[in-house]
Amino acid sequence: MTAIYASVVIFAILGFKAVSNVKSCEKDNEELLAQSHGLATTVAMGDHLNITGLRDCSLDRELDAAAEGTGLAFIVFTQAIVELPGAPFWAIIFFMMLLSLGIGSQIGILEGMLCTIFDIEIFKRVSKQYITATVCIICFFVGIIFTTGAGEYWLSMFDSFAGTIGLVVVAMMEMISVVYVYGHEKFTKDIQDMTGYKPGIYWQVTWRFLAPIIMAVILVSSVVSMVIKHPTYQAWSREEGDTVATPYPTWVLGIAISMILAGILPIPIVFLLRRYQILKMDINIHEGSIRRIDTTVSTKEMITDVDEQLTSPDGPCLTATNTLKNKFTIGDFEV
């Protein structure tokens, strides 16, 4: 929901900036025409642009010329906000929004990484504070490359490769495993058991047909586009005084491919490890078990000790021994 609200603000400011640039361009052309008195009548209308230095004031061109990456936030938006009435107020609001989006994304990414690490058997005896600190320090040193002189180019490369093809492959594999391997009927029943509502025909069609087809088309088109057209990035040209499209060097493409494979290869590797039980530390997925886990970053216990007495609001004090008499089942396991 936050991303939706942010996108409304972003596209609104981009449109405002493009319209403002077009009006400024037209005003400059009017001043140039007012100063041009000696044009010959035999000069073709199309040559007036070259003779007088008039610019092509096109809204489509202004929208296409919008900056990307950090330039979008710190160049285009800054210029647009300056032209708004009460610019300091809108500037503070806008950059506070960027700060909140960044902090929210950072918390979500770290939670996903740390919860996965906490579930690994070899890290369960290590204190969560040490694991969290180690992960944060590693991420800090990785982020240093974005603060160097070439940080903008590194950021562009990560944005172009790290979260595109690899993310689409992971999402498509997750969709296939849930809908076709686990079964959409079981998945629908699970949702109904947990929420009390059964997903309608729209969700059934989307999960079974639309989403896999759309993801497959996006994946194939992205790979074909990368093969046919050599990946490029916008590099600053001192001679031209503008950014020009420059092909990525071979060694940079090697790093980009490594980032893509780093997100894809764990899928077949873990499948083979679990299917053939190659590593002894890997548990047997065919042996079901229910265990109390503590996989959050917080150091506060999620579940109280089983020896603690449980007090019922309408009845006498209950102990953990009495509660064990009332057994129930979760799936195929009895608790």
Binding-site annotation: residue ranges for Na(+): 101, 105
Phi/psi at 145 (5° precision): -65, -25
Q: Is 91 exposed, middle or buried (0-12, 13-18, 19+ CB in 10 A)?
A: middle
- Whether 244 and 237 have beta carbons less than 8 Å apart is answered as yes
What is the distance between the alpha carbons of residues 188 and 209, in angstroms, rounded to a whole number?
15
What residues contact residue 2 under an 8 Å CB cut-off, 6+ apart? 100, 101, 104
List the one residue out of 12, 7, 49, 43 whose CA is nearest residue 29: 49
Q: What is the 3-state secondary structure (H, E, C) of 253-270?
A: HHHHHHHHHHHHCHHHHH
To which residue do tokens 């047909």 refer?
A: 209
**Numbered residues of the known binding site:** 101, 105
